[in-house]
Structure 1
Amino acid sequence: MLLAGTTVLAEGGAMGFLESAGPTLVWLIVVSFVFLECAVIVGLFLPGDSLLITAGIGLAAHASGTSHVWALSAGAFLAAIAGNQVGYMIGKRTGHRLVARKNGKYVNTANLEKVNRLLEKHGFWAVLVARWIPWVRTLCPMVAGAGGMNHRRYTIASTLGALIWAPVLLLIGFYFGAVLDKVSWLFPTVLTLMIVSIVVGTIFGLYQYRKEMKRPVETTEVHDL
């Protein structure tokens, strides 16, 4: 999918890509990335924030962009909630011993302990604010589940966090794109650069993920919350 997107970009630029792909592909990519970022370890290596902003900018170029961006905001919100629940259940089923990667850049014992201490100290508010910290966003649900945080309390906090994250970034991108669209040459230039950076960032992130997962494993205790 990424290779196809890169080819289209080379032939017709960002606008050609959007015209060829349409909102459906934007929906598929955004919802998938949001879910993965909130549910599984690979989400640590995906450019979720920049993707949401870029998707919003891209939708600003469509005649029905307003309806699409609001609908996508709802879809991304639901994907984030679903991802949070999956991440929580993964942590809960893993139990008190989360698998960590020794000396990994993000997936390591030290970072898991940092998230655990954050949850122990701030609980509800930590889950809420964690949405805006990329690597914590992914690890928080698993640590909350493994630490036995009250599921109802976690669900309320993570749902509110999802509401002030994905829809907000999409709408920021959309209304920023509407401003850019007033300058004919600026809109496609900015959009092209952002799409290319996301494609490159995703490829590099998946490479880093594979590299991270090959590291020797160790386990770490996660305390009850």
Structure 2
Amino acid sequence: MNAVNAEATAVGLDWLATAGPLLVWVVVLSFVFIECALIVGLFLPGDSLLFAAGVVLAQHGAEIQAWALSLAALVTAVVGNQIGYYVGRQTGTRFIARRGGRVLNQHNLDRAKAFLDRRGFLAIVAARWIPWVRTLAPLVAGAAGMNSRRFMLATTAGAILWVPTLVLVGFYAAGLLASIPWLNTVLVWGSVAFFVIGTAYGAWRYRQEMRKPVEERSEAAST
């Protein structure tokens, strides 16, 4: 893992190379919960974080912990989405739709409701792999009145396909990173770029949307 450590230090991520498994657990579970449960999680790039967690655990030879973290993060993702679902169900779209919003607007919510009515299960499963949608899907599903049992099955299936895949791919690919220097460089820089650019762009979009006033029609639509 020396190549991984050197590359992480070169791009300013040496804290990842020396992070203990406990810190990895705290960061991953916290970010996964926020991204799946709260609208502020719209700008958290969970995909790259899960992959990086697997790589860090591989540096410590913590295979059992990689599998355990996959299970814990999976449960956290499901619980987070359940909270998001019930928030949407209780508040309707009052705190989601924004007047003039490009993403959080009543038109998109109406389209989402129609889409969920036709392909609700598959939409929730696929949403795990789509930033932004991953956070919005539970809120929209709850606001749209999607059947709670159906949502639970869909979000669990999505979490099973999402969390263990990224964590374990990161863990078992770590050995390959050390033996192929150019791939090591590409993946490390790619992860950093995705994390930084994705977070910055997502935060900017979130601020732009939240500055707009709440869509008054959304309150009536949710009652």
TM-score of the superposed pair, with normalisation by structure 1: 0.80
Hey, what does 1:217 align to over in structure 2?
214
Give the percent of matched residue pairs that are identical in Structure 1 and Structure 2: 48
Q: How many angstroms does 1:196 deviate by?
A: 6.0
1:71 paired residue among 44, 68, 82: 68
Query: Does 2:168 correspond to 1:174?
Result: no
Hey, what does 1:146 align to over in structure 2?
143
> Secondary structure at 1:100's aligned position in 2?
coil
Q: Do 1:112 and 1:139's aligned partners in 2 also have CA atoms closer than 8 Å?
A: no
Q: 1:10 to 1:211 in 2, by over 3 A?
A: farther
Query: Does 2:85 correspond to 1:83?
Result: no
> Secondary structure at 1:69's aligned position in 2?
helix
Q: Do 1:89 and 1:145's aligned partners in 2 also have CA atoms closer than 8 Å?
A: yes
Q: CA offsets per residue over residues 41-73 of structure 1, 9 Å max, x none?
A: 222222111222222223222222x12211111
Alignment gaps of 5+ in structure 1: 1-8
Q: CA offsets per residue over residues 139-171 of structure 1, 9 Å max, x none?
A: 111122122222122111111111111111111
Q: How many angstroms does 1:40 deviate by?
A: 1.8
Q: What is the RMSD computed on CA atoms of the aligned residues?
A: 2.8
Q: How many angstroms does 1:199 deviate by?
A: 4.3
Q: Do 1:47 and 1:202's aligned partners in 2 also have CA atoms closer than 8 Å?
A: yes
Q: How many angstroms does 1:11 deviate by?
A: 6.6
Q: How many angstroms does 1:185 deviate by?
A: 7.5
Hey, what does 1:22 align to over in structure 2?
20
Q: Do 2:19 and 2:56's aligned partners in 1 also have CA atoms closer than 8 Å?
A: no
CA–CA separation in structure 2 for the residues paired with 1:10 and 1:163: 29
**Which has the larger strand fraction?**
1
Deviates more, 1:177-186 or 1:116-125: 177-186
Hey, what does 2:157 align to over in structure 1?
160
Letter in 1 for 2:55: I
Q: Do 1:38 and 1:87's aligned partners in 2 also have CA atoms closer than 8 Å?
A: yes
CA–CA separation in structure 1 for the residues paired with 2:152 and 2:168: 24
> Secondary structure at 1:134's aligned position in 2?
coil
Q: 1:201 to 1:95 in 2, by over 3 A?
A: closer
Q: How many angstroms does 1:19 deviate by?
A: 4.3
CA–CA separation in structure 1 for the residues paired with 2:222 and 2:214: 20
Q: How many residues align?
A: 215
Deviates more, 1:162-171 or 1:95-104: 95-104
CA–CA separation in structure 1 for the residues paired with 2:168 and 2:153: 23
CA–CA separation in structure 1 for the residues paired with 2:193 and 2:124: 32
Letter in 2 for 1:91: G
> Secondary structure at 2:96's aligned position in 1?
strand
Q: Do 2:39 and 2:135's aligned partners in 1 also have CA atoms closer than 8 Å?
A: yes
Alignment gaps of 5+ in structure 2: 1-6
Deviates more, 1:78-87 or 1:108-117: 108-117
